[in-house]
């Protein structure tokens, strides 16, 4: 008998889903990114049981037309890139077309959506990757995705979920950076009927940072500077904001919240002259640079970004923040 065989599609889809969807927070991240890519001005996230029972993300974005709803849950189904060249100039948060396929492979998903031109919306139901139906529905322009019974068919994954508190914190960690990045949009988050975040549109970054992080706007300064193709923008806390952990530090590259050790390290270094040891500052650093000088493909969930010329960026960033 042969020792080698090709895995059946149900197993392949679960393995693929495992790379993108690890926990409720990964679902929230993918769905919120889709809403932002759809141009939503308001995003609402409602959870039950910290997302283990229900995750519902609704938006007032462009909506999805009926014919697209039919292809959407296929692997690599995306409206965001069409050719390999597009990979070098990505302007949307998503582009791999794996999120909805992955979420639907390991949960029970109901999508309802309506585009501006249509006179009714459409509702699709997919469970464990199996399409269970598509029917018309009444709703406003925009989309809502309801994800129930996460990991019902992958018990091993389900067993590794942490306490509701831990899963909820992970969800907040995913949502907060987007709240800071888009002060003009409204964000709402609730769990089991209790509101955890209710942000109305603000006029600026300082106002949004203050509201979202429960800080005082007068303890922050903001600056922007262009260095040729690189633009640096930062909201920095002064010495009145002192944290015992690095929990209020945010780095963004080209509109994407990411972790980048080099940038975080150097900004913390600057503050070492001002703050006592073991005390950490608040900062938000927004870096815009040519996409070809970055690699966002390093991580499947796009959590990390690599800068090709780190040193050049740091030599601009340090004096900018010090000033
Ligand atoms: P990706 O975001 O990588 O393209 P996804 O699986 O997340 O892949 O989504 C597939 C496609 O479904 C997107 O390219 C987009 O066209 C559409 N889509 C998903 N969510 C929304 C939404 N909330 N509003 C409008 N379109 C959406
Ligand atoms: Mg997406």
DSSP result, 264-284? HHHHHHHHTTTS-TT-B--EE
Whether the predicted pLDDT of 235 surpasses 70: yes
CA of 199 to the centre of ligand 1 (A): 24
For 43-79, how does the pLDDT look when each residue is reduced to its tens digit (9 = 90+)? 999 999 999 999 999 999 999 999 999 888 888 888 8
Check residue 267 and give its pLDDT: 94
Distance between Cα 21 and ligand 2 center (Å): 12
For ligand 1, atom 2, name the residue with the nearest CA. 94
What confidence category does residue 302 fall into, taking pLDDT thresholds of 50, 70 and 90?
low
Phi, psi values for residue 162, rounded to 5°:
-90, -170
Burial class from Cβ neighbours inside 10 Å (0-12, 13-18, 19+) for residue 317 reads: buried
The answer on pLDDT for 93 being more than 80 is yes
Mean pLDDT (whole number) for 306-311: 86
Binding-site residues, ligand 1, Cβ < 6 A: 30, 34-35, 38, 59, 61-64, 72, 77-80, 94-101, 143
pLDDT tens, position by position, 181-208: 999 999 999 999 999 999 999 999 999 9
Looking at the predicted structure, is the pLDDT value of residue 298 above 80?
no
* pLDDT (tens digit per residue) in 267-287: 999 999 899 999 999 999 999
Q: How far is the CA of 131 from the centre of ligand 2 (A)?
A: 19
How far apart are alpha carbons 225 and 145 in whole angstroms?
A: 39
From the CB of residue 28, how many other CB atoms can be counted at a distance below 10 Å?
Answer: 25
What confidence score (pLDDT) does residue 257 get? Answer: 93
Kindly report the pTM of this predicted structure. Answer: 0.93
């Amino acid at each position: 008998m042969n020792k080698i065989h090709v895995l059946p599609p149900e197993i392949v889809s679960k393995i693929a889903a495992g790379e993108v969807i690890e926990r409720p927070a990964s679902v929230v991240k993918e769905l919120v990114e889709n809403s932002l890519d759809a141009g939503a001005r308001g995003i609402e996230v409602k959870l039950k049981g910290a997302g283990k029972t229900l995750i519902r993300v609704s938006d007032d974005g462009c909506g999805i037309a009926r014919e697209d709803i039919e292809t959407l849950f296929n692997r690599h189904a995306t409206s965001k890139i069409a050719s390999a060249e597009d990979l070098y100039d990505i302007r949307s948060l998503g582009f791999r077309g794996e999120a909805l396929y992955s979420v639907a492979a390991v949960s029970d998903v109901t999508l309802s959506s309506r585009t501006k031109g249509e006179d009714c919306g459409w509702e699709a139901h997919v469970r464990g990757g199996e399409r269970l139906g598509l029917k018309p529905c009444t709703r406003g322009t925009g989309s809502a995705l309801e994800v129930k019974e996460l990991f019902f068919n992958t018990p091993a994954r389900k067993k590794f979920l942490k306490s509701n508190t831990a899963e909820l914190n992970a969800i907040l960690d995913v949502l907060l950076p987007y709240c800071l990045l888009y002060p003009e949009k409204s964000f709402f988050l609730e769990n089991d009927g209790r509101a955890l975040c209710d942000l109305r549109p603000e006029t600026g970054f300082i106002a949004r940072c203050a509201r979202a992080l429960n800080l005082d706007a007068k303890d922050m300064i903001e600056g922007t500077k262009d260095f040729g193709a690189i633009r640096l923008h930062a909201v920095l806390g002064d010495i009145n904001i002192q944290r015992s952990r690095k929990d209020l530090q945010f780095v963004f590259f080209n509109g994407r919240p990411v972790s980048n050790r080099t940038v975080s390290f150097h900004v913390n270094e600057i503050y070492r002259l001002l703050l006592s040891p073991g005390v950490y500052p608040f900062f938000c650093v927004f870096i815009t640079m040519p996409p070809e000088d970055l690699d966002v493909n390093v991580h499947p969930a796009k959590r990390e970004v690599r800068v090709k010329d780190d040193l050049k960026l740091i030599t601009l960033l340090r004096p900018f923040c010090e000033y």
